[in-house]
Structures are given as structure tokens and as C-alpha cells.
Amino acid sequence: MKLTNTIKNYGLSAIILHWFMAIIIIGLFFLGEYMVDLDYYDQWYHQAPWWHKSIGLSLFTLLIIRLALKLGTIAPAPLITYKKWEIFLAKITHLLFYFLLLTICISGYFVATAKGAGIDVFSWFEVPSIMQLNEKNTDLFAYIHEITTKILVILFLLHTGAAIKHHFFNHDRTLTRMLGIKN
């Protein structure tokens, strides 16, 4: 398997980034849902947000790498069995994924640094705050973070449903290409 994409298949770098980011996004979603309901006296009250922020900034780094790879390499051609509307929807879906992920990461950063403190990333280094926010702006970024995350989940479910449809009903190579399986 090649490291980069070809006109027929995804490369190892695209496949690994796709699945690794998917796992991280799912984990961050469930961690975020869990931590918003924590009581101050819960042992995870401070630990869960620390993990969420550290992993979230790691996801942001992977997203930048993925966007750079996407812009710097070719994309596999759509399968000949695809309909025009499927190709169009796939392009829109991927653009929305990137837009939503960027928005989620940026809004999360502003919420986490709203009081002027930086973000401690896995106790390795700190990402500084670039500004303090008042409560109204913090609430706005928190709302954006929450809404875009919910939209991302819906898009994720549609994306997963489309992959299942292509694999089990259309019997095409959509899913196997992203798994790195040659047919």
C-alpha cells in the first residue's frame, strides 16, 4: 500500500488519519457529554476537562495535517457506479466535516481560555490564551461548540449510513477503499 493517495485508492496516511480522527472525535463527544454533568465534588470534575482539552488540541493538530494532505495530494476518483447526486453530496459532506471540526476546535479553544489561562496539553506544554472573554462571549462560544458538535454527530451518522449502504446494498468499494482493502 502506498503512503499517499492514488487515483484508485486512498493512501495509508489518509486511511490512518481518517480512522484515528474518527475514534478521537467519538471519544471526545462522549467525554464532553459525560463531563458537563459532573458535580464539583466528583473526582473527574477537573480531570475530564483536562483530558478533553488536551485531546481536543491534538485533534486540531491532526485536522491541520489532514487538510494539508488533502490540499497537497490527489483524491481517489469517484467510483463509476456513483450517481452525480452522490458525488455532490459526498463533496458537501466532507466540506461540512472540515468546517464543523474547525469551528468546534476553535470555539472549544476560546471557551477553555476564556478566563485568560492557557491550556495545559498532557502536561507537556501550554497553549496560551490570546484574549480574555466576558461571560456573554464565553457563553456564545460554548453555544457554538455545543451546536456544531450536535450537527457533526448527525453528519457522522449520515456518513456512516452512506458507507454501510454502499458496502451492503450497492456492493461497491467505497468502504473497502477507506479500510485499505484491495478488491
* Residue 182: predicted pLDDT: 80
73 occurs within a structural domain = yes
* Residue 1: predicted pLDDT: 85
45 occurs within a structural domain = yes
132-155 CB burial, b ≥16 within 10 A, e <16: ebeeeebeebbebbeebbeebeeb
What would the pLDDT profile of 99-146 be if each residue is shown by its tens digit?
Answer: 999 999 999 999 999 999 999 999 999 999 999 999 999 999 999 999
Question: Rounded distance, CA 117 to CA 110, Å?
Answer: 10
SS3 133: coil
DSSP 3: S
Residue whose C-alpha cell reads 455532490 in the numeric block: 88
7 occurs within a structural domain = no
Regions of the chain short of the pLDDT cut 50: none
* Residue 183: predicted pLDDT: 67
DSSP bridge partners of 127: 119
How many domains does the structure of the chain reveal?
1
> What is the residue-averaged pLDDT of the chain?
96
The three three-digit cell numbers of residue 37, written as one number: 454533568
| Domain span including residue 39 | 12-179
2 occurs within a structural domain = no
Helices (H) and strands (E) in the chain, counts: 5, 2
4 occurs within a structural domain = no
Residue whose C-alpha cell reads 457506479 in the numeric block: 81
6 occurs within a structural domain = no
Question: Rounded distance, CA 43 to CA 100, Å?
Answer: 31
79 occurs within a structural domain = yes
